[in-house]
Each structure stands twice: as C-alpha cells, then as structure tokens.
C-alpha cells in the first residue's frame, strides 16, 4: 500500500510524542505515520492512554513533547480550527444538540472552517443511511432522544460529511449490534477508497481490530 501522499510525504506524522499523567509515564518517543488508505488500530490495555493519543493527534490536548505535521505542514501553518476539521476526533460517547438529526448535521456547516466545502448534501447523507440500514426518517428523529448507538451513527455522519483527511475513532461501534457494526466498517472502507484519507481506530473488540485494521500500533511507555 502507498504509504505517502502524492508529493511523497505521509498524510499525518508524529515524532517523539510523550504523555504523562502526574508522575506516571503513559508513552514516550512515540512515532507515527499515516498513509493514504491506512486503517490503523491502536492496541493497548485499558488506561494506557489510547484516547489521549487520539486527542493529541487532533490537538484537543496539546502534545507534552514531540511534533505533529499534516501533509508536511505543522499545526501553526493550518491554525487550530482547520487542523481539527481535517483531523476529526469522534468521542466514544458523542453528544447532540437540540433539534432533529438533520439539524445537527446541518449546523456545523455554519462554521468558518467548513464554509469552503461542498455544503449540506441530503442525498449523500441518505445514501450513507441506507448503507447503515436506516431510511431517511432517521433525519427527523429528535437528536436528544437517540439511543447510544444512534448517537454514534449521528456522530459518524456528522464527521464524514466534511471529508476529513484523518478520522480518529474512539470505540465508534461500542453501542451498536453486530449487523450495524459490519455496515459501519464497510462504509468506512468505501469512504477511505474515495479520497486520500486515513483512519485510526480504538476498539475494545480485538476481533474488530483484526478485521478492520490493516496494521496496528501498540502503545508502550
């Protein structure tokens, strides 16, 4: 698999990252490169800092040591809002604002970092919903009354519509049944094939890591 963008550089690079919680060292001298089409699974015991690594890559938590670059450019060259739009983090327990699912999907298009995009596309969303076994009535659901699994689907669609360069997934199917989990995995693979993108996945399910990831990274102190 091609491990670089068209200009020969990785999509995302991290060099020498380190994370401490108080006196406890979670990981250090961590190097990571993401390639076009990568599906990287993070492997580590609970409490090893997998979520913190995703948040660091998204610059939701600043690196304590080390450097990051996206398409060969450091965060300062992009600015934080643009970086976080291109390196999108999906939390394990997503939240929704008031209103319908559709309102929640439309709302982020108001933000400056998304205004240059293609804009709201109902057909694209309903196509993804069909792939996930849902029909268009899902868009009219009250977002504040969604189940945990439905919230995970909303969060995934909300991120995918902006075509981030890197999608960071923290237990994205933990509340879904097996059939819907398989549909999510198939949708992600199809989405990756449609552009120069990469995914990083955390999952408590070792079988999912084995099934979905094309390579793994084990976190070590």
Tens-place pLDDT, residues 98-122: 999 999 999 988 877 766 666 788 9
Q: Higher-confidence residue: 3 or 168?
A: 168
Domains: count for the chain: 1
What CATH number should be reported for the domain holding residue 188?
3.40.50.300
Across the strands, what pairs with 17? Answer: 30
List C-alpha distances in Å: 145 to 142, 150, 184: 6, 9, 21
pLDDT at 2: 37
pLDDT in tens, 28-76: 999 999 999 999 999 998 889 999 999 999 999 999 999 999 999 999 9
Q: Is the pLDDT of residue 8 over 60?
A: no
pLDDT at 84: 94
Is the residue at 67 inside a domain?
A: no
Burial 27-44 (b: 16+ CB within 10 A, else e): beebebbbbbbbbbbbbb
Is the residue at 201 inside a domain?
A: yes
Of 150, 188, 148, 154, give the one whose Cα is nearest residue 168. 188
Q: What are the tokens at 79?
A: 């600015």
Its domain, for residue 136, covers 38-61+79-218
Is the residue at 4 inside a domain?
A: no
- C-alpha 129: how far from its chain's center? 18
Is the residue at 32 inside a domain?
A: no
Across the strands, what pairs with 52? Answer: none
Is the residue at 132 inside a domain?
A: yes
Is the residue at 29 inside a domain?
A: no
pLDDT at 159: 95
Phi and psi torsions of 180, nearest 5°: -70, -35
H or E segment and range at residue 199: strand 198-202
CB atoms within 10 A of CB 106: 18
Measured distance CA(16)–CA(32) in Å, rounded: 9
């Amino acid at each position: 698999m091609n491990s670089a963008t068209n200009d020969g550089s990785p999509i995302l690079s991290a060099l020498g990252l380190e994370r401490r919680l108080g006196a406890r060292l979670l990981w250090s001298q961590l190097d990571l490169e993401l390639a076009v089409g990568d599906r990287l699974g993070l492997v580590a015991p609970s409490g090893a800092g997998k979520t913190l690594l995703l948040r660091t890559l998204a610059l939701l938590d600043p690196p304590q040591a080390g450097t990051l670059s996206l398409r060969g450019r450091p965060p300062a060259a992009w600015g934080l809002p643009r970086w976080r739009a291109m390196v999108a983090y999906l939390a394990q327990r997503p939240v929704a604002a008031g209103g319908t699912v559709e309102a929640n999907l439309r709302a982020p298009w108001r933000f400056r970092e998304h205004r240059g995009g293609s804009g709201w596309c109902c057909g694209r969303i309903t196509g993804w919903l069909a792939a996930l076994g849902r029909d268009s009535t899902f868009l009219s659901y009250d977002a504040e009354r969604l189940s945990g699994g439905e919230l995970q689907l909303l969060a995934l669609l909300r991120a995918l519509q902006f075509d981030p360069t890197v999608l960071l997934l923290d237990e994205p199917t933990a509340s879904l049944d097996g059939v819907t989990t398989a549909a999510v995995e198939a949708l992600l693979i199809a989405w990756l094939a449609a552009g120069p993108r990469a995914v990083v996945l955390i999952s408590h399910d070792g079988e999912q890591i084995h099934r979905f990831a094309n390579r793994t990274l084990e976190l070590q102190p």
